[in-house]
């Protein structure tokens, strides 16, 4: 497979025909062996739930058991016993585990990608991309752990014969709650954060994503960990609530909606002592297109970020502020480029957008579109008609006069709002007023405008002039993914150098040597 190029979110325009040929050869066997199984796992002994693919609403992904309340308690108890060993693992133990896990993920990356494709309707390249990202996450976090000597630091010697060291220790057991949209990468990211720092884990994948969740669990079993260190539970929000409120957990890693994330924070505030929460809670990401922009590049970057994965990314570009002077030109280019993106069955090589995930998204799309028709101008959008089910939505481009809920709420659908501006200052002010603060992008060739954006945009991930994605495409070791404001409170991101220390608590050791 050495001749097959790796897929990242930003290496657009290269020849992926060998990736497609490889996937073509894998798909028939994947459908036979990975789909339609009846799964069992120790901490899910409740009713079996059949899950179908959003691709056609028919193909069974498998039958997955649900965790009962006592399964959740048992999983936490198992993690507590695993933590006794893993909390005291050495740096070498963790690094060699990371190397083994990376190998296991690497060996099964196309299978993991295909699972994400069938499970949530991701296009081929987005799906393989997230599997590749997972491999790189484990590698990058392990390299940070090693380069920082497990984050241990010698401290000042205040008096003779006294040594002081800052040591970073695991909290104990982390609950990891993952979302549907990057079922592999976001799960692997949070699980690796916890495990590489010596914490035990109870992991709950998104309710419809048991398949990828169980495959990830298999890669961890292949990598080998002491018994009880990694545990998986399956189920809906109620199972998540039982897990995050279990007294036996010491912290929560969460990626998902603002509402659910804030619910976890509220719960922690009711406890005798709060516990750490590492949370990424969504986004509503603006891009700015000035009169000094390369408009073709801007249109491509905005379209790729607004419509990739059907707009269901926390990083999706969902509102674009365009200088009035170039607005109609930009909108024409955006509509033209978006019109060429293929909406269809994600199993096919040329598909850019598959179905949206979940019936609720179809309904909220309908109402957002009606609202946009009432309030502004719809340049493109609606439902795909070429024999697809109702969950295939076309790239939707809407122009609105004023800021309102469509420019502020996270919609999680292929829907981008265009707003005209006459002052970049004012536009950035409005973009900053969005309650979330994950990503933002600008298209300009003017260094003063670029500096103004970099100095004033209130978001953790900033991009300039990117055709591969105005606001999307962060990669481990390259773009730390730190959520500001409503997106997150820790001020440190996944994919970056400060991610792992969040799973650790500091202890200073001061020792008189004589």
Which one among 67, 68, 396, 472 touches ligand UN1, defined by CB under 6 A?
A: 472
The string of DSSP letters for 89-108 reads --HHHHHHHHHHHHHHHHHT
User: Mask 280-299, x = binds ligand UN1 (CB under 6 A)?
Assistant: x-------------------
* Span of 140-148, 162-170, 400-408, 469-477 interacting with ligand UN1 by CB under 6 A: 469-477
Largest CA distance in the chain: 81
Distance CA 248, CA 255 (A): 21
**CB pairs under 8 A, 24+ apart, for 151-157?**
151/500, 151/501, 151/504, 155/508
Per the listing, tokens 């949209």 go with: 181
Whether 97 contacts 225, CB under 8 Å: yes
How many residues at the interface with ligand UN1, by CB under 6 A?
11
Shortest spacing between CB 282 and ligand UN1, in angstroms:
8
The interface with ligand UN1 within residues 239-258 (CB under 6 A) comprises 255
Distance CA 252, CA 257 (A): 14
Examine residue 141 and tell whether it contacts ligand UN1 (CB under 6 A).
no
Examine residue 181 and tell whether it contacts ligand UN1 (CB under 6 A).
yes
Shortest spacing between CB 41 and ligand UN1, in angstroms:
25
* Span of 26-34, 45-53, 197-205, 307-315 interacting with ligand UN1 by CB under 6 A: 307-315
Q: Which of 206, 31, 17, 243 is nearest to 117 (CA)?
A: 31
Between 379 and 492, name the residue whose CB sits nearer to ligand UN1.
Answer: 492
Per the listing, tokens 């000042």 go with: 156
Whether 141 contacts 98, CB under 8 Å: yes
Examine residue 431 and tell whether it contacts ligand UN1 (CB under 6 A).
no
Distance CA 168, CA 150 (A): 7
Between 182 and 352, name the residue whose CB sits nearer to ligand UN1.
Answer: 182
Shortest spacing between CB 58 and ligand UN1, in angstroms:
27
Examine residue 182 and tell whether it contacts ligand UN1 (CB under 6 A).
yes
Shortest spacing between CB 451 and ligand UN1, in angstroms:
23
Distance CA 283, CA 411 (A): 9
Examine residue 487 and tell whether it contacts ligand UN1 (CB under 6 A).
no
* Span of 137-145, 311-319, 329-337, 349-357 interacting with ligand UN1 by CB under 6 A: 311-319
Contacts of 85 (CB under 8 A, 6+ apart): 226, 228, 229
Secondary structure of the chain: what % helix, strand, coil (to 5)? 40, 20, 40
Shortest spacing between CB 78 and ligand UN1, in angstroms:
28
Shortest spacing between CB 184 and ligand UN1, in angstroms:
12
Examine residue 473 and tell whether it contacts ligand UN1 (CB under 6 A).
yes
Shortest spacing between CB 146 and ligand UN1, in angstroms:
23
Shortest spacing between CB 9 and ligand UN1, in angstroms:
6
Per the listing, tokens 């993690």 go with: 79
Examine residue 313 and tell whether it contacts ligand UN1 (CB under 6 A).
yes
Shortest spacing between CB 464 and ligand UN1, in angstroms:
15
Between 87 and 134, name the residue whose CB sits nearer to ligand UN1.
Answer: 134
Tokens of 179: 């979302």
Which one among 314, 362, 393, 470 touches ligand UN1, defined by CB under 6 A?
A: 314
* Span of 72-80, 288-296, 384-392, 467-475 interacting with ligand UN1 by CB under 6 A: 467-475
Between 199 and 472, name the residue whose CB sits nearer to ligand UN1.
Answer: 472
Shortest spacing between CB 125 and ligand UN1, in angstroms:
13
Q: Computed over its alpha carbons, how large is the radius of gyration of the chain? A: 23
Q: Which residues of 257-278 are buried (b: 16+ CB within 10 A; e: fewer)?
A: ebebbebbeebbeeeeeebbbb
Phi, psi of 174 (to 5 degrees): -105, 135
Contacts of 288 (CB under 8 A, 6+ apart): 320, 321, 322, 424, 427, 428, 431, 440, 441, 442, 443, 444, 453
Distance CA 414, CA 365 (A): 9
Examine residue 466 and tell whether it contacts ligand UN1 (CB under 6 A).
no
Examine residue 396 and tell whether it contacts ligand UN1 (CB under 6 A).
no
Between 44 and 470, name the residue whose CB sits nearer to ligand UN1.
Answer: 470
Which positions lie near ligand UN1, rule CB under 6 A?
181-182, 186, 255, 280, 313-315, 472-474
């Amino acid at each position: 497979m050495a001749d097959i190029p790796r897929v990242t979110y930003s290496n657009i325009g290269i020849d992926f025909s060998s990736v497609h040929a490889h996937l073509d050869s894998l798909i028939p066997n994947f459908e036979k062996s990975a789909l339609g199984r009846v799964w069992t796992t120790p901490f899910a002994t409740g009713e079996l739930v059949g899950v179908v693919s959003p691709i056609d609403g028919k193909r069974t992904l498998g039958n997955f058991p649900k965790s009962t309340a006592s399964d959740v308690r048992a999983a936490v108890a198992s993690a507590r016993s695993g933590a006794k060993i893993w909390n005291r693992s050495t740096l070498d133990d963790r690094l060699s585990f990371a190397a083994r896990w990376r190998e296991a993920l690497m060996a099964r990356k196309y299978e993991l990608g295909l699972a994400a494709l069938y499970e949530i309707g991701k296009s081929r390249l987005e799906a393989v991309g997230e599997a590749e990202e997972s491999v790189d996450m484990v590698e990058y976090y392990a390299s940070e752990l090693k380069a920082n000597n497990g984050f241990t630091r010698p401290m000042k010697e205040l008096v003779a014969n006294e040594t002081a060291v800052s040591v970073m220790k695991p909290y104990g057991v982390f609950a990891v709650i993952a979302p549907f949209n990057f079922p592999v990468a976001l799960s692997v990211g949070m699980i690796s954060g916890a495990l590489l720092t010596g914490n035990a884990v109870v992991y709950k994948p998104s309710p419809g994503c048991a398949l990828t969740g169980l495959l990830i669990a298999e890669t961890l079993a292949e990598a080998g960990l002491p018994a009880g260190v990694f545990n998986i539970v399956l189920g809906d929000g109620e199972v998540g609530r039982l897990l995050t409120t279990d007294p036996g957990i010491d912290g929560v890693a969460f990626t998902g909606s603002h509402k659910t994330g804030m619910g976890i924070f509220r719960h922690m505030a009711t406890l005798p002592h709060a516990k750490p929460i590492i949370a990424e809670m969504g986004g509503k990401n603006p891009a700015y297109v000035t009169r000094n922009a390369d408009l073709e590049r801007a249109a491509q970057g905005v379209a790729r970020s607004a419509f990739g994965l059907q707009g269901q990314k926390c990083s999706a570009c969902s509102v674009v502020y365009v200088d009035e002077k170039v607005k109609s030109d930009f909108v024409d280019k955006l509509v033209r480029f978006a019109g060429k993106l293929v909406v269809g069955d994600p199993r096919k090589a040329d598909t850019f957008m598959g179905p949206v995930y979940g019936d609720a998204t179809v309904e909220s799309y309908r109402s957002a579109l009606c609202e946009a028709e009432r309030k502004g101008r719809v340049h493109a959008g609606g439902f795909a008609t070429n024999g697809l089910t109702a969950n295939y939505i076309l790239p939707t481009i809407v122009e609105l006069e004023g800021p309102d809920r469509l420019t502020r709420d996270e919609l999680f659908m292929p829907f981008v709002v265009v707003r005209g501006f006459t002052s970049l200052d004012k536009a950035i002010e409005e973009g900053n007023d969005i309650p979330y603060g994950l990503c933002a992008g600008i298209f300009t060739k003017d260094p003063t405008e670029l500096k103004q954006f970099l100095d004033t945009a209130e978001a953790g991930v900033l991009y300039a002039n990117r055709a591969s994605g105005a606001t999307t495409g962060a990669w481990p070791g390259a773009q730390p993914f730190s959520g500001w404001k409503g997106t997150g409170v820790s001020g440190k991101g996944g994919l970056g150098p400060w991610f792992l220390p969040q799973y650790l608590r500091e202890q200073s050791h001061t020792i008189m040597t004589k």
